[in-house]
Chain A
Amino acid sequence: MLEWWEGFWATYSAVVYGIGVNAMLALSIYVTLSCGLLSLANAAFMGIGAYAAAMISMQSGLPFPLALTAGAILPALVALIIGIPTLRLSGVYLAMATLGFGEVVRVIVLNMEVTGGPMGLNGIPLKTEFWHIALLLALTLYILGRIRRSKIGRAFEAIKADEVAARLMGVNVPAYKLFAFVLGAAIAGVAGGLNAHYTFTIGPNNYAFENAVDILTMAVFGGVSNLIGPTIGGTILTLLPEMLRYLKEFRLAINGLILIIVVLYLPNGIWDPRRIHAFWQRRKARKGH
C-alpha cells in the first residue's frame, strides 16, 4: 500500500499541486467577477508574483514565507497603480485593457535581463510542499468567505447587480472595485509563487493570453455564484487533460467541446446551488408519489 502510494505520489504530485494552484487562480478571478469586473490580467499578476518570489528565493537566502509574501505584495502594488486609471472602463473594454496589460507585461519580462529573458528562470529551489498549498487555499477560501458575508461582500453584490444604483445608495464604487482588483492580484501572485517553487523553471510564456483565458475558463466552468464553483472548476479542468490522456492529440479538442457544452447547457457553471436544489426537490417529489 505504502509503495503504491509512493509511486502514485511521485507521478501525480504535480497534478495535485496543480489543482490547488489552479483553484486559487480561479478564486482570484472570482473576486473581480463577483464585483462585476471582467479582468483578464490575473495571468500577468500570477507571473509577477512567480518572478518576484522565485528571484528572492534564488538570489537571497530569505525564507520561503517571505518570498511568497513578496509574491503577493508586488502584484498587489502593480494592481493598485494600473487599477486606478483602468477600472474606469467597463465590460468588454476592461477585459481588453487588462488583456493588453498582460501582453505588455509578458513582452517586458521577455526583454529584461534580470528575469532571464525568453529563457526564463531555471533552477528555482523546490520549496513548495503539499501542506503549503492546502493551507494557503484554505486561507484564501476562509478570507473570501468572510468577505462575502461582510459589508464589502454586499457592496460587491450591489455593484455587480447595478453599478449606478449602487452608487446612488452611497456605495463607494471605485474604491470597492479597486479593492477587488488588488485582492485578486494578490491571490494570483501567491498562486504564482507557489507554482514557481515546484515547477523548477518558469518563463514569460507561462503567463500569456492562453493562461489568462484558462483561468477565466476554470472559474466560469465551475460557476461564479459562490466560492465552491471556482474551486471545483479549477479541480476538474486540471484533472480533465490527465483523464483524457488516452485521446492523445485530440484531448484539447474535447476540452474545448466540454467548455462549449457547459456554456450552452449549464450557463451558471457546473456548481449551481439553485439548480442542484431544484433537482433534489424534483426527485423527492417523484419518490413521494
Chain B
Amino acid sequence: MLEQQLINALSLGSVYALFALGFTLIFGVLGVINLAHGAIFMLGSYSALLLVEKLALPLWLALLVAMLVAGTIGLVVDYLILRPLRARNVSHLIPMIATIGVAIMLTNLAQGLFGAENKRFPVGTIPEQSFNWGHLHLTELQIGIVGISVVLMVILLIVMRRTQLGRALRAIAESPRAAYLLGINVEGLFYLTSFAAAALGGAAGVLVGLSFNAISPFMGQPMLHKGIAVIILGGMGDIRGAMIGGLFLGFAEVLTVAYISSDFRDAVAFGLLFLILLVKPSGMFGKVLERKA
C-alpha cells in the first residue's frame, strides 16, 4: 500500500514543485511575491480546456499553447503593473498588493466568462491507459505529469546553472543595479522571467486540470497557498529548494491523508510552513541575509 501512496505523492509533489518554481523564480529575480500566480495557473488550465474543446487540438499542443497564453498574461501583468512600480522603487509590500488586485480581477473575469461551476475535459482527451505491477497501479497520466514536470525543471535548472542567460539572471537576483552597470539588459530579463514563470504556472495548471479533471475559476487560490508553503520550505528564491520543497509537500500531504486523517490535509502545508519559519526561516537549504548593524 505504501508504494502506491508514494507514486501518488510523486505525481502530486511534482506539480507542486512546477507551480512553486515559477513563483520562486519571480521572487528570486524580481523580488516580488506574485499573488496572481494562482490566477495565471487557473487561466493556463482554462486555455488548454478551450483549445481541446473548441479547436480539437491534441493534448501536447494544447499544453504548449496554454503555456504561451499563460506566459503572455504574465508578461502583460509585468509590463502594465510591475514595471511602473519598479521604476518608482517602492517597498516590497506595494507590488504584492497590486498582484492581489490582479488575482481578484482575473479570477472574477474567469468566473464571468466561463461560469463558476467545475468544467471537465471532453471524454477521451485524458490518456487512461494504466500499468499494473502486482498491486501497484500507475496511470499514463501520472507518468506524463511526472515526466513533463521533470523535463521542465531540468531545462530551467540547466539554463540557470550552465548558460550565460542564467548567469545574468543570478546577477540580477544578487543586485539589479550592479547587473545593469555590468551591461546586462535588466529590464528585458525581467520580462523574460515574468513570461517564463507564468508559462511554468500555466503548465502546472494544465497538469492539475488533467489529473483532477475539474477546472474552476477558484482552483488557483488553494494552489497559491501550497506554493507559498513550498517556497518557504525550500527557501525564498531558491530554485532547487522549490523542487525539493514541492516534492516534500506532496509526500507530506499524501502520507498525512493515508495515515492520520484527510481532515488535516490542508493544515499540513501551513503547519510545515509555520514550523520551518520558527526553526529555520531561511528555508531548508537557504542562508539568510540580514543587516546586522
Q: Is A260 an interface residue (CB 8 A)?
A: yes
Stretch of A71-79, A99-107, A137-145, A169-177 that contacts chain B: A99-107
Q: Is A164 an interface residue (CB 8 A)?
A: yes
Contact residues in B for A152 (Cβ distance below 8 Å)? none
Q: Is A198 an interface residue (CB 8 A)?
A: no
A245-270 contact mask (Cβ, 8 Å, vs B): 1 or 0: 00001111101111110011001000
Q: Is B232 an interface residue (CB 8 A)?
A: yes
Contact residues in B for A260 (Cβ distance below 8 Å)? 81, 98, 101-102, 105
Contact B100 A213 (CB under 8 A): yes
Stretch of A16-24, A83-91, A120-128, A180-188 that contacts chain B: A83-91
Contact residues in B for A259 (Cβ distance below 8 Å)? 97-98, 100-101, 104
- Option from A88, A89, A95, A256 in Cβ contact (under 8 Å) with B108: A256
Contact residues in B for A253 (Cβ distance below 8 Å)? 104-105, 108-109, 112
Contact B228 A96 (CB under 8 A): yes
Least distance between B82 CB and chain A CB atoms (Å): 10
Contact residues in A for B55 (Cβ distance below 8 Å)? none
Q: Is B154 an interface residue (CB 8 A)?
A: no
Stretch of B12-20, B66-74, B265-273 that contacts chain A: B265-273
Contact A249 B98 (CB under 8 A): no
Q: Is A108 an interface residue (CB 8 A)?
A: yes
Contact B97 A220 (CB under 8 A): yes
Q: Is A97 an interface residue (CB 8 A)?
A: yes
Q: Is A92 an interface residue (CB 8 A)?
A: yes
B80-109 contact mask (Cβ, 8 Å, vs A): 1 or 0: 010011001010111001101111111111
Contact residues in A for B277 (Cβ distance below 8 Å)? 86, 89, 93, 96-97, 100
Contact B100 A111 (CB under 8 A): no
Q: Which single residue of chain A is at the shortest CB-CB distance from B77? A: A260
Chain B CB within 10 A, most for which of A97, A252, A263: A263
Q: Which single residue of chain A is at the shortest CB-CB distance from B291? A: A164
Contact B274 A101 (CB under 8 A): yes
- Option from A90, A164, A251 in Cβ contact (under 8 Å) with B293: A164
Contact B270 A89 (CB under 8 A): no
Contact B101 A96 (CB under 8 A): no
Least distance between A211 CB and chain B CB atoms (Å): 12
Contact A257 B88 (CB under 8 A): no
Contact B108 A252 (CB under 8 A): yes
Least distance between A219 CB and chain B CB atoms (Å): 10
Contact B100 A100 (CB under 8 A): no
Contact B267 A103 (CB under 8 A): yes
Contact A103 B266 (CB under 8 A): yes
Contact A38 B264 (CB under 8 A): no
Contact residues in B for A64 (Cβ distance below 8 Å)? none
Contact A209 B108 (CB under 8 A): no
Q: Is B263 an interface residue (CB 8 A)?
A: yes
Contact A267 B88 (CB under 8 A): yes
Q: Which single residue of chain B is at the shortest CB-CB distance from A262? A: B101
Within 8 A of A (CB), among B14-64: 33, 35
Contact B102 A103 (CB under 8 A): no
Contact A249 B108 (CB under 8 A): yes
Q: Is B281 an interface residue (CB 8 A)?
A: yes
Contact A89 B281 (CB under 8 A): yes
Contact B273 A96 (CB under 8 A): yes
Least distance between B213 CB and chain A CB atoms (Å): 24
Within 8 A of A (CB), among B213-242: 221, 225, 228-229, 232, 236
Q: Which single residue of chain B is at the shortest CB-CB distance from A249? A: B112
Contact residues in B for A228 (Cβ distance below 8 Å)? none
Contact residues in A for B228 (Cβ distance below 8 Å)? 96, 99-100
Report the separation of the CA atoms of residues A264 and B108 in the bound assembly, to the nearest whole angstrom.
20
- Option from B236, B292, B293 in Cβ contact (under 8 Å) with A92: B236
Q: Is A110 an interface residue (CB 8 A)?
A: yes
Contact residues in A for B269 (Cβ distance below 8 Å)? 103
Least distance between A101 CB and chain B CB atoms (Å): 6
Question: Contacts A103-B267, A108-B267, A252-B105 given; 12 further ones with Cβ under 8 A?
Answer: A90-B290, A95-B33, A96-B277, A100-B232, A101-B270, A111-B263, A111-B264, A164-B293, A253-B104, A256-B101, A259-B98, A259-B104
Question: What are the 3 A-B residue pairs with the smallest beta carbon separation, nearest first?
Answer: A256-B105, A256-B104, A259-B101
Residues of B within 8 A of A (CB): 33, 35, 81, 84-85, 88, 90, 92-94, 97-98, 100-109, 111-112, 221, 225, 228-229, 232, 236, 263-264, 266-267, 269-271, 273-274, 277-278, 281, 290-293
6 contacting pairs across A/B (C-beta < 8 A): A90-B290, A97-B278, A107-B266, A250-B112, A256-B101, A260-B101
